[in-house]
Amino acid sequence: MQRERLTKTSSTPQDLSHAASRQYHLSDYTRTILNLNYAPDSSWVLDPRESFSQVLDKVDFPVSTGNQVSVEFNLIYRGHSNVSTKDEKWSQDLF
């Protein structure tokens, strides 16, 4: 499925490489926030670009509206607690 999505939107090998990199970072980011990187038996991933019409009564929801935005915001918001004290101090000193 992920490979299929990447090849549909990509026209050159470089585009495909960038798309694969973005997909990996998005997956790794959400797994880290949800503390799933330490669960080797889990292959669960949240992809906010995914269509959920197959899961939720065959209704396709508009992108970036309603609860989807809430889920993305919650994941990012909770991710800030993963920043170390050292990194927080560095960031405050920088700005």
**Residues with catalytic roles:** 77
- From CA 2, how far away is CA 82, in angstroms rounded? 27
Compute the 3-state secondary structure of the chain and give helix, strand, coil in percent, each to the nearest 5: 60, 0, 40
